[in-house]
A = this chain, B = another copy of it.
Amino acid sequence: MRVLGVDPGLTRCGVGVVEGVPGRPCTLVAYYVVYTDPADELPLRLLHLDTELTRLVAEHRPESVAVERVFSQHNVRTVMGTAQASAVAVLAGARAGLPVQTYTPSEVKAAITGSGQADKAQMMAMVTRLLRLAEPPRPADAADALALAICHIWRGGTRARIAAAADAVRQRTAASRTGARPGAPGRPGPKRQGGTR
């Protein structure tokens, strides 16, 4: 599974492309930071970001896009630009017809380090280890974007495994019910929802 992660920002927007399967070290494909000039007008900045993100999605053809969810408890001055950059990132994925998932910073930290309160250094160390890199990816915006992509691969994988397990339970249940009613051959067992959601 190839995932493009975006750590949205109007001045610096991190982009990380990662390939992997759940629960195993992932492979780094590429990472970038898209810069826009704070001296430029907003339309120009958003257009530049849109052009670059759309190009990177087309170039790397990920199966899905993961974007950090913006929180209002951030610095209120910068949160507006971050919210606008995140909209551009979400749109770049959605316009390409890709599933786009957002994750909170705590969800990403928990997925990567096991703790939702992990600090920057811990996150950087784990991203470096999980991607089997010789050196930490720089700048931090790129590392955050890679962490988002890894988080999505692993969490998506967890969801897929839960769904597969639920399917297996469902099939076994249906089979045993059919088997318990020899007097009604060919009659399918009642449909049941798996208990795991």
| Chain A interface residues (CB < 8 Å from chain B) | 42-44, 46-47, 50, 70, 72, 76-77, 79-80, 83-88, 90-91, 93-95, 99-100, 102
Contact = CB atoms under 8 A, between A and B. Distances in A.
Copies of this chain in the oligomer: 2
A13 to B, nearest CB: 13
B83 A44 contact: no
A32 to B, nearest CB: 20
B72 A42 contact: no
B76 A70 contact: no
A91 B42 contact: no
Contacts of A72: 76-77, 79-80
Contacts of A99: 43
A95 B48 CA distance: 10
A93 B43 CA distance: 8
Given A43-B93, A83-B84, A88-B91, 7 more contacts: A43-B91, A46-B94, A47-B91, A79-B79, A83-B87, A85-B87, A87-B88
A192 to B, nearest CB: 26
A49 to B, nearest CB: 9
A80 to B, nearest CB: 5
A88 B87 CA distance: 7
Nearest to A100: B43
Contacts of A88: 87, 91
Contact of A44 (B76, B85, B94): B94
Contacts of A80: 70, 72, 79, 83
Contacts of A47: 91, 94-95
